[in-house]
């Protein structure tokens, strides 16, 4: 009888602390790519699709399009001076989805599914987006 195989440590070490520091202090938005093709903008050590540990870390452009959103009129404490604003789910150009917020969206008619958006580095918590390209200023 053989012992069960133990999981190995990822060879490309990345910690959630490094990820957060990169985002908050160095304005870097990073994604992770698995050998199976899965891409995510959410920090993790293991691919949620195939279980691979050795994820490739890469810089995201921060550009994408809105796949879902809602307008928040009752904000969290950090956003009390920004309400109303949009809470958005963005599909990034490189693949993967990330949630964030858009301070200039005051009503559901100010934004649409499919609108192009880009990431804006901000001192505020959360991943901030603004409209990008042809859809801007609608
Ligand atoms: Zn995978």
10 CA → ligand 1 middle, Å? 13
Are residues 130 and 71 part of one domain?
yes
- The size of the chain, in residues, is 138
Residue 3 lies in a domain: no
**pTM summary value:** 0.78
39 CA → ligand 1 middle, Å? 8
Q: pLDDT value at position 16? A: 73
Residue 77 lies in a domain: yes
Weakest-pLDDT range from 61-65, 66-70, 95-99, 127-131: 95-99
Sequence-distant (6+) residues with CB within 8 A of 93 are 61, 63, 64
Residues 61-88: tens digit of each pLDDT:
999 999 999 999 998 888 889 999 999 9
CA–CA dist 39, 50 (Å, integer): 12
Domain range for 92: 63-135
37 CA → ligand 1 middle, Å? 6
State the average pLDDT for the chain.
84
């Amino acid at each position: 009888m053989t012992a069960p195989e133990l999981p190995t440590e990822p060879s490309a070490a990345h910690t959630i602390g490094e990820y957060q520091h990169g985002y908050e202090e160095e304005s870097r938005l990073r994604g992770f790519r698995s050998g199976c093709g899965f891409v995510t903008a959410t920090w993790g050590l293991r691919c949620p699709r195939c279980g691979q540990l050795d994820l490739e870390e890469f810089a995201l452009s921060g550009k994408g399009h809105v796949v879902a959103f809602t307008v928040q009129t009752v904000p969290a404490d950090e956003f009390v001076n920004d309400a109303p604003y949009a809470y958005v789910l963005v599909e990034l150009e490189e693949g993967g989805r990330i949630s964030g917020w858009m301070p200039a969206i005051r009503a559901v008619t100010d934004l649409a599914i499919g609108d192009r958006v880009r990431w804006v580095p901000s001192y505020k918590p959360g991943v901030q987006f603004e409209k990008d390209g042809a859809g801007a200023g609608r």
